[in-house]
Structure 1
Amino acid sequence: MTDTSAWKSAARGAVALFGLGMIGVLALAVYSVPMLREIPELSALSYPTLVLLASANSMILLVVVVLLGTVTAPRIDLNSHVFAWASGGTPNWSEIRDSFPLAVVLGSGLFVVVAVIDAAFAQFTQFPVNEPTTDTDALRDLFVSVPMRLFYGGITEELLLRWGFMAPLAYVLWWGRNKVGDATETPSATIMWVAIVVSAVAFGVGHLPALASMFELTTPIIVRTIALNALVGIALGWLFWRRSLETAMIAHAMFHVALVAVSSVIIVVA
């Protein structure tokens, strides 16, 4: 395959992943529209304009990270079956089927672990108490967030953090290691774990702005947010490394499925 053909194939794979990630970007934008309408300067804008405004930054970021992952991930054997399919490769769809039970169990289990740890340290974090709402309002708010949780959390965040951050970081570390030592065909386990942990911590840090928009961040809240999300990110990064990007996406989505299911029960029963 010539260099031109290779780049065209990679470009098709990148476009496919970008399209997949845009599902989550649009879900987040739609979820954000009611909040944008509360801003006086934006209240008169049309619904499509608000969706476009809400998705602009995320869309630009998605372009960048998809390109970074496209250049680096295939070179260090980090797999995406969607990318392989769109770029003319040989996707192993059976791997997704075989890994599905693991993704479901791991994603759901991660929610349980995070919930237990969060409850154990609740006395230290002491989140501000919101004004009480009716069960109907709470359920409505929860279910309105479902598309954003599943598509942005499950798909787009995996593209941002795993494909677009973890893969390039692992590639750079591997490239640097090859320059100063004996060259290897793929990154070592140590390099991969460094990339997994760093991207997982970045995943946790990335959740701070949303919290900061709701209330003042304290040190315990910052530590709690980064630590719990990093725990999830490490597991998802391992799935990306050992299985595929799509397996990590399924596990991430299942985390939110478990969250919504348990939250619904708590709202109804409490």
Structure 2
Amino acid sequence: MRQDLRVAVALAAAAALSTVAVFPYLMQLAPGRVASSPVPLPALIAIQAMQMFVLATLLAWAGLRMGHRVGLGSPLLQRWLNRHGAARPAPLHPWRAAGLGAAAAVAVLALSALLDPLLLPPAKVAMQDVDGARSALYGLLASFYGGIVEELQLRLFLMTLLAWAATWLLRRARGFDGTLPPAAAWLAILGAALLFGAGHLPAAAAVWDLDAGVVARTVLLNAIAGIAFGWLYWKRGLEMAIVAHFAADLVLHVLMPLLTPQTVL
């Protein structure tokens, strides 16, 4: 239990720092919401970071505890912080994880190019007012939030919870040998991916009026990336899912604003 708590605290500290880093991006995307807060900006950032630290510690600890039962978790941090794992662990191939994340981002961009003219209403944001270089810098900072916080919440906690629940049902129905069945893994991957997509609806609402087309487009595009991240979490652990998510966000929120400054994803 203490060893899982040690990993959870390390992840939570990274999540808190990522929360601080995402604020410039949020202020660019929805400046009115931040400006209208009665709390001074430095205090608001500190409060959000502290809240994230507490929440992330609880979610990460719960995810790690459940993960022991279904073979999911954070193998690299467990090995670094607690000396757990095989003496010669299987290679994790971080560059392959980054490549998969970048490929998922390219797939999202290609599908977005097909769907956006059909589904999106006029944007509420003046795209010509967004500076490409500044947007790319803010996107780089926000990529840490996406890679760390969202993977902690959606994969380490939520996907593990779904996998744990599925195996609990299997155990009651016909026994469970301790190995996560592929069907249960894919159920957890898809469930977490859909909720990952739904979690991006508030950001979409800051750019467009939400209607059925915007909702379908936002959930679908983000779920595609979420499936890739979930598969990596299942096969390689949380760290490789973080690498893939970070790489995808670099393509979407750093490279794209530099190439097309008027693009909002």
TM-score band, normalised by shorter chain:
0.7 to 0.9
Aligned pairs for 1:71-86 within 5 A: 71-80=65-74, 81-86=76-81
Distance in 1 (alpha carbons) for counterparts of 2:151 and 2:37: 34
SS of residue in 2 equivalent to 1:121: helix
Structure-2 residue corresponding to 1:165: 158
Structure-1 residue corresponding to 2:115: 121
Q: Is the 8 A contact 1:62 1:160 kept in 2?
A: yes
Structure-1 residue corresponding to 2:95: 101
Q: Deviations over 1:129-153 (max 9, x none)?
A: 3324357x2321332231112x101
For structure 1, the 5+ residue unaligned runs are 1-6
Q: Is the 8 A contact 1:17 1:82 kept in 2?
A: no
Aligned counterpart for 2:42 among listed residues 48, 70, 77 = 48
- Counterpart residue type for residue 154 of structure 1: G
- 1:100 and 1:73, CA in 2 relative to 1: closer, same or farther beyond 3 A? same
Q: Is the 8 A contact 2:63 2:73 kept in 1?
A: no
Q: Deviations over 1:34-80 (max 9, x none)?
A: 735521634xx2x4312123335544432332122121112211141
For structure 2, the 5+ residue unaligned runs are none
Structure-2 residue corresponding to 1:9: 3
Q: Is the 8 A contact 2:121 2:209 kept in 1?
A: no
Task: Give the total of aligned pairs.
Answer: 256
Q: In the alignment, does 2:208 pair up with 1:215?
A: yes
Q: Is the 8 A contact 1:125 1:224 kept in 2?
A: yes
Q: Give 1:20 deviation, angstroms.
A: 2.5
Structure-2 residue corresponding to 1:23: 17
Structure-2 residue corresponding to 1:110: 104
Q: In the alignment, does 2:248 pair up with 1:251?
A: no
Q: Is the 8 A contact 1:158 1:248 kept in 2?
A: yes
Q: Give 1:10 deviation, angstroms.
A: 2.0
Aligned counterpart for 1:232 among listed residues 203, 225, 245 = 225
Distance in 1 (alpha carbons) for counterparts of 2:155 and 2:5: 19
TM-score normalized by the length of structure 1: 0.85
Structure-2 residue corresponding to 1:3: none
Q: Give 1:92 deviation, angstroms.
A: 7.6
Give the RMSD, CA atoms, in angstroms: 2.4
Q: Is the 8 A contact 2:204 2:218 kept in 1?
A: no
